[in-house]
């Protein structure tokens, strides 16, 4: 029973549409009707500004972290599901949220939150890589995909050192999710029409 509840809670955590709720509650704006229409931090930055974007980014990160840490709660002490699997469920919830008609974000921040909750050094690495990539490319999408590759390489090296195959597998799946969700961005990058950030 604990495992079933864990699965449901992890998915529901990921399903919290931070961008939608922050936009509607504090800005009276549905971000799905503006910009790219995406329920993610990038579109929030674009539509609602830096403050809202930062808040949504942090909330989306925390969703992934909270899902990974669920087994630490006394309520779930008897659960046997690996924390990274719960993190993956939160990522799926973010991409296909129950509370937003199953149309969510692109899973980058929530994936980062999963790493933060499970192995914080890899989170620091990918965060630094993201910021450096964004500084030079000015494209959140490209920076996100670069981070996905770097994170997977890190997980492979970590597997060789520690034998943690779960991290390698889940990071690999999260990287696939990120590339899949950025299909349209890849096409725009190739065409030279991908929007660039102006705030960095």
The reported pLDDT for the residue numbered 157 is: 97
Confidence of residue 152 (pLDDT cuts 50, 70, 90): very high
CB atoms within 10 A of CB 108: 30
Q: Does some domain include residue 112?
A: yes
d(Cα 193, Cα 196) in Å, to the nearest integer?
9
Q: Does some domain include residue 199?
A: no
Checking if the pLDDT of 200 tops 70, the result is no
Checking if the pLDDT of 197 tops 90, the result is no
Arithmetic mean of pLDDT, 111-126? 96
Higher pLDDT, 21 or 199: 21
Q: Does some domain include residue 198?
A: no
The reported pLDDT for the residue numbered 6 is: 95
Arithmetic mean of pLDDT, 77-100? 94
d(Cα 105, Cα 131) in Å, to the nearest integer?
20
Average pLDDT value for the chain: 94
Confidence of residue 162 (pLDDT cuts 50, 70, 90): very high
Checking if the pLDDT of 128 tops 70, the result is yes
Checking if the pLDDT of 150 tops 70, the result is yes
Q: Does some domain include residue 197?
A: no
Counting the structural domains of the chain, the total is 1
The reported pLDDT for the residue numbered 76 is: 84
CB 112 within 8 A of CB 62: no
Q: Does some domain include residue 160?
A: yes
| Residue 161, domain extent | 2-191
Each residue's pLDDT tens digit, 34-81:
988 889 898 999 899 999 999 999 999 999 999 999 999 988 877 899
Each residue's pLDDT tens digit, 172-190:
999 999 999 999 999 999 9
d(Cα 152, Cα 82) in Å, to the nearest integer?
19
* Angle subtended at Cα 56 by Cα 40 and Cα 108, rounded to the nearest 5 degrees: 45
Checking if the pLDDT of 198 tops 80, the result is no
Checking if the pLDDT of 130 tops 90, the result is yes
The reported pLDDT for the residue numbered 12 is: 97
The reported pLDDT for the residue numbered 167 is: 97
């Amino acid at each position: 029973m604990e495992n079933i509840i864990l699965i449901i809670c992890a998915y529901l955590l990921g399903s919290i549409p931070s961008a939608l709720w922050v936009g509607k509650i504090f800005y009276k704006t549905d971000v799905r009707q503006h910009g790219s229409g995406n329920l993610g931090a990038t579109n929030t930055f674009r539509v609602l500004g830096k403050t809202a974007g930062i808040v949504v980014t942090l909330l989306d990160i925390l969703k992934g972290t909270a899902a990974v840490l669920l087994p630490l709660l006394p309520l779930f002490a008897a659960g046997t599901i690996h924390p990274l699997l719960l993190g993956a469920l939160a990522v799926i919830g973010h991409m296909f949220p129950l509370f937003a008609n199953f149309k969510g974000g692109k899973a980058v921040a929530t994936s980062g939150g999963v790493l933060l909750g499970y192995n914080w050094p890899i989170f620091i690495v990918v965060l630094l890589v993201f910021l450096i990539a964004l500084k030079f490319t000015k494209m959140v999408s490209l920076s996100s995909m670069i981070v996905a590759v770097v994170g997977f390489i890190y997980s492979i090296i970590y597997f060789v050192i520690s034998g943690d195959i779960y991290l390698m597998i889940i990071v690999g799946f999260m990287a696939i999710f990120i590339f899949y969700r950025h299909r349209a961005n890849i096409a725009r990058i190739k065409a030279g029409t991908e929007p660039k950030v102006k705030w960095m």
